[in-house]
Structure 1
Amino acid sequence: MIHHIIPSIKQADSTNFFLMAGPCAIEGEDIALRIAERIVTITDKLNIPYIFKGSYRKANRSRVDSFTGIGDEKALKILRKVGETFGVPTVTDIHESGEASMTAEYVDVLQIPAFLCRQTELLIAAAKTGKTVNIKKGQFLSAGAMRFAVDKVKDSGNDKVILTDRGNTFGYQDLIVDFRGIPEMRDFGVPVVMDCTHSLQQPNQASGVTGGKPALIETIAKAAVAVGADGLFIETHPDPANAKSDGANMLHLDLLEGLLQKLVRLRAAIR
């Protein structure tokens, strides 16, 4: 399904899931290119369609002194260079309607953060760029409620929509994943992605730094593939402990290939 949404994506085995993966935030050109090169090598080997992800700016931070970015234009140019260098689509998130047209000049997919998935003007602005719009499901919404987010984009003349689940708020400092939501959202006629890393966040910690449970990434990914997710979203970094953002729940880059090998086998068995 994703091949029809982003024609530039490398054509791979149509029975496979696709992958959105990369660092949480764009930290610099060298590390972005190194991460992309490693993932492209792995996904080419495994015939997994690949979209490079990286936030050009982090607008939703717990503390005012948290890392937010290296500068909008600088980060967006890096995203463009990654796409051009490796011939893969790129995705980044936007936070206000005024960012949509500017960001669309650099990337192939505009992502709507979970906390903003009900923002009508933002969804319409993203839709009107003509780019694919990846809407993350709000932690506070049911899967069924995401139909209205999809409708806002489609009613604005853009049928290129992806939905991404990232868990549901469970108390104050934890998230859970209701895997019933994946087939429910697929019934809307759009590809559905499981965010295997953000769904393991532990927000609202006393330190003001979000925690996470990266040891369970494989568990979430396997379950998502088992229930029919079209794609997986995984934040990965060669040194998560020293990443500028979301290091607590990212997958170490060295572990990505082994995980994807297992998931490809699982997908084949199910299909």
Structure 2
Amino acid sequence: MKTMKVGSISMDNTIFTLIAGPCVIESEAQVMEVASRMKDITNRLGIPYIFKSSFDKANRTSISSFRGPGIHEGLRILKKVKDEFGVPIVTDIHEPYQAKIVAEVVDMIQVPAFLCRQTDLLVASAETGLPVNIKKAQFLSAKDMKNVITKVEESGNENILLCERGNTFGYNNLVVDMTNIIEMKKFGYPVVFDATHSVQKPGGNLTSTGGNREYVEYLAKAAIAVGADVLFMEVHEDPDHAKSDGPNMVKLDEIEVILKKLIKLYKAVRDDESIRYSH
């Protein structure tokens, strides 16, 4: 598997790496609080940490849903996180013109699942030269991601991560097929598992997305067991009152206990692989 460098962090399949933060930037104070606490937690646990939050959620269920502060104010806040806590930053974009603007601040660009086949968006992201975390669409199979990868590679960028976040068959639900992780690893790029978006109930609350955050830990364990290289989790100090994706975000007060279990599993799986492959 190719080693991917995001800021000062080298991503491969030998060390547990976490991407985490609130779904959307609700305020500067809130983002700084989450980033500070997550940095402390990951320092204690000794794991590499990348901060994630969105300046705009352009694919909300309802037109009246909160979207975020916008690109310029959002990037100002993200830069403050980066400068104050020394962590790499990732955020998502929805339109090609945003790629160059965002690249001035962030260390990795994220392509949302619904948009992973948008050629212009992929090309613009690739042309920044930054790593690109591409979420597999809810309507694609793992093998379909080969065409997505080719668009980025042929745009001159092989700094790619692939992200599994479940498939939908309608009916306000997602199903996670863990063999998607195995299949995407065959492409030779790091595979991220999005443990929180995978428990969404799309449109499940009629005008907003529902979710089952109690399943996050279990799906994360399963993903690590089959070989996920990086874990993505959205966290919030008070998910029940979050402005976006509250039902599937992990409570900040609970994340450290969950991570300890996942790190232990990650090490056990890697140790088992090294033994198996040594013969």
Runs of 4 or more, structure 1, over 4 Å off, are: 11-14
**Structure 1 residue 103 corresponds to structure 2 residue 102:** yes
Give unmatched runs, 5+ long, in structure 2.
Answer: 271-279
Question: What is the deviation of 1:188?
Answer: 0.6
Question: What is the deviation of 1:244?
Answer: 1.1
Cα contact 1:13–1:48 (8 A) shared by 2: no
Question: What is the deviation of 1:107?
Answer: 0.7
Matching residue of 1:254 = 253
Q: Distance in 2 between matches of 1:159 and 1:12?
A: 14
Cα contact 1:95–1:116 (8 A) shared by 2: yes
Cα contact 1:134–1:163 (8 A) shared by 2: yes
Q: Distance in 2 between matches of 1:206 and 1:187?
A: 37
Matching residue of 2:223 = 224
Q: Distance in 2 between matches of 1:126 and 1:207?
A: 33
Q: Distance in 2 between matches of 1:158 and 1:13?
A: 18
Matching residue of 1:55 = 54
Q: Distance in 2 between matches of 1:12 and 1:192?
A: 10
Cα contact 1:16–1:47 (8 A) shared by 2: no
**Structure 1 residue 8 corresponds to structure 2 residue 3:** no
Question: What is the deviation of 1:3?
Answer: 6.2
Question: What is the deviation of 1:207?
Answer: 2.5
Cα RMSD over matched residues?
Answer: 1.6
Q: Distance in 1 between matches of 2:4 and 2:133?
A: 15
Matching residue of 2:266 = 267
Give unmatched runs, 5+ long, in structure 1.
Answer: none
Question: What is the deviation of 1:132?
Answer: 0.8
Q: Give the direction of change, closer, same or farther, for the CA distance of 1:41–1:77 in structure 2 (3 Å limit).
A: same
Q: Give the direction of change, closer, same or farther, for the CA distance of 1:89–1:143 in structure 2 (3 Å limit).
A: same
* Percent identity of equivalent pairs: 54
Q: Distance in 2 between matches of 1:210 and 1:34?
A: 25
Cα contact 2:2–2:189 (8 A) shared by 1: no
Matching residue of 1:205 = 204
Matching residue of 2:274 = none
TM-score (ref. length: structure 2): 0.93
Question: What is the deviation of 1:206?
Answer: 5.5
Question: What is the deviation of 1:16?
Answer: 2.2
Alignment of 1:110-259 (within 5 A): 110-205=109-204, 207-259=206-258
* 1:66-99 CA distance string (max 9 Å, x none): 0011232111111111111111111110001111
